[in-house]
Amino acid sequence: MVADAISGAGMAGLRPDSFEPELLKLVNPWLQNEAIPVIACGMVGSKQGWTEAPYRCVPCSPMQAESLISVRSSDPRLDVWIVPGLMQKAPPDVIRGEEVQLAGLLASQPEFDGIVCLPGTHSKWVRVSAGEVVGFQTTMTGELFGLLSTRSVLRHGMGNGWDDRAFSAGVKIGLAHADKLVARLFSIRAEGLLDGLSPDAARSKLSGLLIGAELAAVKNWWLGQEVVLIGAKTLCANYASALHDQGLKATILYGTDMVLAGLYLAVRQDKP
């Protein structure tokens, strides 16, 4: 049986003792008398989540069955396990959730060796070699876009649509002038007031500026590489477009597909 269910509840709105009841609301129609395995990942394993799943230190494989953390459940029909995130000591960095997508990538491409970018609220640039995550870099591009477009003075000129030309122009400026990003950001507001920059173009240019600045900051990760993008369709397409402008061809894999492949792999593995 293949089925899915979605809840709007997340870590920000749940106490540790609220995760199990919320899970039961979603999966109760599928439960049987015997316990079924439930593999969870992401912030459910954080300090503020259901049960903390301590980070594993890279270099290491994205996911190991013996590292899954068992969760005490009051319902005997649930056999819950949480996938730990990954940590990097120098420079300090953490991943929680994306490791399952990386495991899904390696499940379908065991010989993969290269760079993976996982765009999102906190984008991750990951180096994978010999079946292991050997290093990664986080940028806060998505969160900055959310804050600037909805809570800063720039919000007054933001639209909901998209303008490819404005995005590409923003990427070009962000890459070339990342050191002047804080000054370039306000120019979006000024362009709207003085030059008639449309709200949709303003939103697109802001995204391009931030992604361009991100690419400048992590240039050593992608320059001369073949990059695999894993994430939401539209966001990955934007990153692919930005990389294409730099002469790079990126392969896009959709985040949900990789999560399911990684979780399926965890279900098949023998747990401790």
Distance CA 258, CA 264 (A): 10
Q: What is the pLDDT of residues 76-124, one digit of tens each?
A: 999 999 999 999 999 999 999 999 999 999 999 999 999 999 999 999 9
**Domain membership flag for residue 187:** yes
Range of the domain at 175: 141-253
Is 270 a residue whose pLDDT tops 70?
A: no
Distance CA 167, CA 145 (A): 13
Number of domains into which the chain is organized? 1
**Position 265 confidence tier, pLDDT thresholds 50, 70, 90:** confident
Residue 271: its pLDDT value, please?
A: 63
Name the pTM for this structure. Answer: 0.93
Residue 157: its pLDDT value, please?
A: 97
**Domain membership flag for residue 25:** no
Q: If you search the block for the tokens 């000591």, which residue do you land on?
A: 89
Residue 13: its pLDDT value, please?
A: 80
Residue 36: its pLDDT value, please?
A: 85
Residue 232: its pLDDT value, please?
A: 97
**Domain membership flag for residue 40:** no
Residue 100: its pLDDT value, please?
A: 97
Q: What is the pLDDT of residues 13-68, one digit of tens each?
A: 889 899 999 999 999 999 988 888 899 999 999 999 999 999 999 999 999 988 99
Is 269 a residue whose pLDDT tops 80?
A: no
**Domain membership flag for residue 153:** yes
**Domain membership flag for residue 104:** no
Q: 74-78, 124-128, 134-138: which has the minimum mean pLDDT?
A: 74-78
Burial category of 151 from C-beta neighbours within 10 Å (exposed 0-12, middle 13-18, buried 19 and up): exposed
Distance CA 114, CA 15 (A): 39
Domain of residue 219, CATH code: 3.30.420.310
Is 161 a residue whose pLDDT tops 70?
A: yes
Is 267 a residue whose pLDDT tops 90?
A: no
**Domain membership flag for residue 174:** yes
Average predicted confidence (pLDDT) for the chain: 94
Average pLDDT over residues 248-252: 95
**Domain membership flag for residue 6:** no
**Domain membership flag for residue 109:** no
Residue 272: its pLDDT value, please?
A: 65
Measuring CA to CA, which residue among 36, 39, 46, 53 is closest to residue 10?
A: 46
Question: Reduced to 3 DSSP states, what percent helix, strand and coil does the chain have, rounded to the nearest 5?
Answer: 50, 20, 35
